[in-house]
């Protein structure tokens, strides 16, 4: 073993140099200094992240972290990048669940589902890449218009049902279906986002410990109680989305998540016709059946709901409605209309 001071070659078991007496520490006993990486909480517009993603703008933020519109320089395309919060990324088991769930989510290829790409790490920060959809999320559309016309509601809901049917067929349940997770693109196509993410988080119900899966206002009774969640839980959430689209309000509202959870478990929603007389009895029936407390009393599949909506649609005359618009991000003014067969909306920012 070579002395670090005089470079004399000593026997391998030497503790001191036989030539100069300097202490010799075997390499295996030298402590390794771990380089601490500080996870990022946000990305700067105009910067480049992970060597390939040019940050164009922040699109929104949620319980998991912030979402950015980025330009991927390796594939020359715009995509969405979700930067996971450091406190979530610090849990190795959660990250491993993310990775496993995304493997399944990547297998879902459908026109009404936003594609998930990958989970990666850069300088201590974990991030998820996914398809970028140019358009407006359904939550913003409802806020903007109040109550959506029946043709608009049915067109969007039918497409969501198609996406759910494909995912459920592959054994994937969304678990956090809500209007802000549904994008409407420039052509009027509804796209469900964030498949494969909610299941990865720890949960023990709305009243238990851990990170809650789902948003209280859209959670099924069984989800509130941390019971088994399956496709009929997504159907309950879809019922709330239908209720909100047609009435402009949620069926259950309270000051705290706990109070909302109690209402989801025990209270019967008011008939949506009380808030919008234009809703037909058939559509009201569909909404309230989705919101049954017992899973067995709900529709058993998204395909069943789609069939019901198609029958209702046949009895509605074609109507046109100009969409109220905020200032678009493009210089070209966009004027669009709704009708029964297709829903078109302006290309606005993804939140």
| Active site residues per annotation | 176
- Please report, for residues 272, 342, 344, the alpha-carbon distance to residue 186 in angstroms, rounded to integers and kept in the order given: 29, 11, 7
Q: Provide DSSP, 46-77.
A: T-EETTTEEEEEEEEE-SSEEEEEEEETTTTE
SS3 286: helix
State the Cα–Cα distance between residues 64 and 53, nearest whole angstrom: 20
Q: Provide DSSP, 75-126.
A: TTEEEEEEEE-HHHHT-HHHHHHHHHHHHHHTT---TTBPPEEEEEEETTEE
State the Cα–Cα distance between residues 230 and 221, nearest whole angstrom: 12
Token match 């039918």: residue?
A: 158
Please state at what angle helix 281-290 crosses helix 150-169, rounded to 10 degrees: 30
């Amino acid at each position: 073993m070579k002395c670090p001071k005089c470079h004399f070659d000593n026997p391998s078991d030497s503790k001191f140099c036989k030539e100069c007496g300097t202490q010799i520490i075997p390499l295996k006993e030298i402590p390794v200094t771990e380089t601490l990486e500080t996870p990022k909480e946000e990305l700067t517009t105009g910067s480049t992240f992970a060597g390939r993603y040019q940050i164009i703008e922040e699109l929104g933020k949620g319980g998991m972290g912030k979402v950015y519109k980025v330009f991927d320089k390796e594939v020359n395309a715009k995509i969405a990048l979700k930067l996971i919060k450091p406190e979530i990324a610090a849990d190795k088991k959660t990250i491993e669940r993310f990775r496993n769930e995304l493997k399944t989510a990547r297998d879902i290829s459908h026109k009404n589902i936003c594609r998930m790409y990958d989970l990666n790490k850069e300088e201590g920060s974990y991030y998820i890449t996914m398809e970028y959809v140019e358009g407006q999320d359904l939550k913003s559309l409802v806020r903007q218009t109040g109550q959506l016309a029946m043709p608009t509601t049915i067109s969007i809901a039918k497409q969501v049902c198609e996406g759910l049917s494909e995912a459920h067929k592959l054994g994937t349940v969304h678990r956090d279906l809500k209007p802000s997770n549904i994008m409407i693109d420039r052509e009027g196509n509804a796209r469900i986002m964030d498949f494969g993410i909610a299941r990865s988080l720890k949960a023990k119900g709305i009243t238990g410990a851990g990170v809650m899966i789902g948003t209280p206002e859209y959670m099924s009774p069984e989800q509130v109680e941390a019971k088994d969640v399956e496709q009929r839980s997504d159907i309950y959430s879809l019922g709330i989305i239908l209720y909100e689209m047609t009435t402009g309000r949620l069926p259950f509202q309270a000051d705290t998540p706990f109070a909302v959870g109690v209402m989801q478990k025990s209270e019967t929603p008011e008939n949506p016709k009380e808030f919008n007389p234009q809703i037909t009895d058939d559509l009201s029936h569909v909404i309230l059946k989705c919101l049954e407390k017992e899973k067995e009393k709900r529709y058993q599949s998204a395909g069943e709901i789609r069939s019901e909506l198609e029958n209702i649609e046949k009895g509605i005359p074609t109507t046109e409605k100009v969409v109220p618009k905020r200032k678009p991000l493009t210089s070209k003014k966009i004027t669009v209309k709704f009708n029964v067969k297709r829903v078109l909306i302006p290309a606005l920012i993804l939140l």
